[in-house]
Homo-oligomer: A and B are copies of this chain.
Amino acid sequence: MSPRRSAGPTLKDVAAIAGVSYRTVSNVISGKAPVSASTRARVEAAVAELDYRPQLAARQLRVGRSNLLTLSVPFLSLPYFAQLAHAVVTAAEAVGYDVVVDETHGDPERELRAASGYRTLLSDGILLSAMSIGDEELMAARGRTPLVVLGERIRAARVDRVVVDSVTSTRDATAHLIAAGRRTLGFLGTVPDASSGAAAADLRLEGFRTALRAAGLEADPRHLLEVSPWDQRSPDGDYSREEGHARVRALLAGPDGLAGLDGLVCANDLLAIGALRALREAGVEVPGRVAVVGWDDAPESAYTVPPLTSIAPDLGELARLAVASVLRLVDDPDSPPRVEQAPYRLVPRASAPPASTSSAGQLVP
Residue positions of A touching B, CB distance < 8 A? 3-8, 51, 53-58, 60-66, 68, 75-77, 79, 82-83, 85-86, 89-90, 93, 98-103, 117-122, 143-144, 236, 241, 245, 273-274, 277, 280-281, 299-300, 302-305, 333, 363
Contacts and interface: CB of A to CB of B under 8 A. Distances in A.
A4 B65 contact: yes
Nearest to A87: B77
A299 B57 contact: no
A100 B98 contact: yes
Given A98-B120, A273-B300, A89 B103 contact: yes
A305 B302 contact: no
Contacts of A85: 76, 82, 85, 101
A9 to B, nearest CB: 9
Nearest to A9: B144
A121 B55 contact: yes
A58 to B, nearest CB: 5
A150 B241 CA distance: 29
B100 A68 contact: yes
A50 to B, nearest CB: 11
Nearest to A300: B300
B363 A281 contact: yes
Nearest to A281: B363
A102 B82 contact: no
Nearest to A302: B241
A118 B274 CA distance: 43
A75 to B, nearest CB: 7
Contacts of A120: 98
Given A6-B64, A64-B3, A82-B76, A56 B121 contact: yes
A98 B77 contact: no
B121 A53 contact: yes
Given A76-B82, A280-B305, A305-B305, A55 B63 contact: no
Given A51-B143, A54-B121, A103 B86 contact: yes
Nearest to A66: B57
Nearest to A62: B3
A143 to B, nearest CB: 6
A240 to B, nearest CB: 9
A185 B21 CA distance: 68
Nearest to A280: B305
B122 A66 contact: yes
Contacts of A86: 75-77, 103
Q: Find the residue from A100, A274, A304 having the highest chain B CB count within 10 A.
A: A100
A302 B273 CA distance: 11
Contacts of A302: 241
B117 A53 contact: yes
16 contacts: A8-B144, A55-B61, A55-B121, A55-B122, A57-B122, A75-B86, A76-B82, A77-B82, A77-B83, A79-B79, A86-B103, A236-B299, A241-B300, A245-B303, A273-B303, A300-B300
Contacts of A3: 62-64
Contacts of A68: 100, 122
A209 to B, nearest CB: 29
